[in-house]
Amino acid sequence: MKSFGALLALLTLAIAGSVAQYSREQFPMELPTSHPGYSLDLDEMRLVELESQAPMWMSELDKILLKAKGVSFLDVTDTQDLGRLERLRTQASYPSPNATEKVKPILKTLSTKGPKENLEKFSSFRTRYYRSDITAETASKSLRKLISVNEFPHSWGQNSIIVRINGSSTTDDGVVVISAHQDSTNMWPFLPAPGADDDGSGTVTILEAYRGLIAADFHPVRAVEFHWYSAEEGGLLGSQAVAQAYEQRSANIIAMSQFDMTAWVKRGTREEVGIITDFVDPGLTDFNKELVKTYLNIPYVETKCGYACSDHASWRKAGYPSSFTIESSFENSNKNIHSVNDRIDISDEFSFSHMLEFSKLAVAFAVELGGWTE
């Protein structure tokens, strides 16, 4: 077999010409199909749901090919009951932002220092692929060391991480969720995937928001939870499992906001927050627009990303209001993702000051919807 370096060069060329050009039979066999510490069986059959289609069985390799073609999907093998519970949920309403006296002092304490240090470490691992022990034993531990956490276990080894700030109310059981995904992948998953932007940026963005809230002695009226999901790149596996568990216990999730890719400002474009408008809750999305106008130094742009493009889709399927913000319009987002080039140092278009705007948004989301106990 060729050296790993040669294989890496081969994959770089393959991706440049688009891996998506290959069918299952044509996929280059020169690519590695194993790596020490991986537990990925390319022939394992999985149940996959595409937009407006009944779930279908396909192999792990076929999933990889779908992703290479830019097709988003839900791997529902382990969560086939998600969204099937028929019960009444209170329809949440969202007021205009009105907690500026609480939010703005916290925003002044946020910094790029912590996110930069954390992301340098988090993207230094060879990969954070959810079926590698590098992720389970090393990368995820580096995140857990930074926060007091509860782990949501998954069968594949990389657990999702949930941090809860309990609410003070004895009558309002609403929960506000702010989330990102901790895993990364290469277009061919056995190869390196630093995942600095996808989604290392979102991971440390909401971590900085959490740090700022704790430093401000934030005591919400409603519970506020920060989630770092496993296996988003495998078909939203981690967030589906979490959402299904919350649905089964009738958790009252009033709002969920996903932060997936927050660092890239394409050269020659306006710096802005991309607000996803398809497959999201319209009222919560409008509320996010108001938060941007009230608390951020940059404007928003409406954009679309398609079906199941990130973890908000799992909560939407469960019937909960969810939203998604991204670094820019979808067409101007980072094209280095899912490759060895998703690195902090790849370009000055990777911006920690841009990420800071999203940390501000996460703080505002938490305080405005969680409330503040005096």
Residues serving a catalytic function are: 181, 198, 232-233, 260, 338
CA atoms lying within 13 Å on the CB side of residue 78: 15
Q: What does the DSSP 8-state code read for residue 27?
A: S
Sorted by sequence, the CB contacts under 8 Å of residue 54 that are 6+ apart come out as none
Distance CA 135, CA 153 (A): 14
Pairing of strands 74-75, 45-49: antiparallel
User: What length is written for the chain?
Assistant: 374
Asked whether 163 and 182 are in contact (CB, 8 A), the reply is no
Distance CA 126, CA 196 (A): 11
Residue 218 corresponds to which tokens in the numbers above? Answer: 């934030």
Pairing of strands 174-181, 252-259: parallel
CA-wise closest residue to 163 among 105, 119, 229, 253: 229
Asked whether 367 and 102 are in contact (CB, 8 A), the reply is yes
Q: What angle do CA 292, 295, 299 make, to 5 degrees?
A: 40
Alpha helices in the chain (DSSP H): 4-16, 60-68, 100-107, 113-122, 133-134, 140-144, 202-215, 237-248, 282-295, 312-317, 352-370
Residue 286 backbone phi and psi in degrees, to 5: -65, -40
Residue with tokens 């926060």: 147
Distance CA 246, CA 251 (A): 5
Asked whether 326 and 258 are in contact (CB, 8 A), the reply is no
